[in-house]
Chain A
Amino acid sequence: DSGVTQTPKHLITATGQRVTLRCSPRSGDLSVYWYQQSLDQGLQFLIQYYNGEERAKGNILERFSAQQFPDLHSELNLSSLELGDSALYFCASSVSGEGSYEQYFGPGTRLTVT
């Protein structure tokens, strides 16, 4: 158990809908990262937040957004969902905002868009 929690574990929704994925980092970690894992694209970094502020952006679509709240939990919002958004979404946390620190991953949320 990494100490990172993600809810829900599974989500099934229809095209065009909007969903919110939630992540709580390990105790003491200030950075939260979001990743998408799909069969065709592999594991891709989406976005990083550090202590409430956006720190780095990867291959995140404009339809996707994230935020980190004062209690350090984070939410990833996915809107206007398409079939291709079906994937496993991971949240990870690390103690620092610097990339040199290891990231601990949550169990993931499996999103299925039908």
Chain B
Amino acid sequence: AQKVTQAQTEISVVEKEDVTLDCVYETRDTTYYLFWYKQPPSGELVFLIRRNSFDEQNEISGRYSWNFQKSTSSFNFTITASQVVDSAVYFCALIDPYNNNDMRFGAGTRLTVKP
């Protein structure tokens, strides 16, 4: 069965610190897709990144970077030089296309960046 675990419930950092949000997933299939979404205090879910299981290249987008390691079933997200506007709940999610297109979300990590 599919499962996504975000063990860090809450993280608090001071502005300009780097922070890594962990995501560990479980699936029996070789083809799957991983996602990160941001949910700021306003409530909407904002798409950040999609990664397919065949592409293990790390990705960097500005201050954001993602580290995908199939060997450890992890898809971690790092924010460099964090800012107050990064404060949000971050969700990691998994879709197994052979399992009903059911997007499974982790429980989320609440990040608070203090000035």
Residue A106 is within 8 A (CB to CB) of chain B in the complex? yes
A residues near B45, Cβ cutoff 8 Å: 90, 92, 105, 108
B102 touches A58 (CB 8 A): yes
The interface stretch among B13-21, B62-70, B76-84, B103-111 is: B103-111
B residues near A45, Cβ cutoff 8 Å: 102-104
CB distance from B64 to the nearest CB of A (A): 15
Interface members, chain A 57-106 (any B CB < 8 Å): 57-58, 88, 90, 92, 97-106
Please encode chain A, from 27 to 68, with 1 for each CB lying within 8 Å of some chain B CB and 0 for all others.
Answer: 000000101000000111100100000011110000000000
**A contacts with B, residue count (CB < 8 A):** 28
Chain B interface size range = 20 to 34
Residue A17 is within 8 A (CB to CB) of chain B in the complex? no
Question: Which chain A residues have a beta carbon within 8 Å of chain B's beta carbons?
Answer: 2, 33, 35, 42-45, 48, 55-58, 88, 90, 92, 97-108, 110
A43-B108, A45-B103 provided; 19 other pairs, C-beta below 8 A? A2-B46, A2-B47, A35-B103, A42-B105, A43-B91, A56-B100, A56-B102, A88-B43, A97-B101, A99-B33, A99-B95, A99-B101, A99-B102, A100-B33, A100-B52, A102-B50, A103-B103, A105-B46, A108-B45
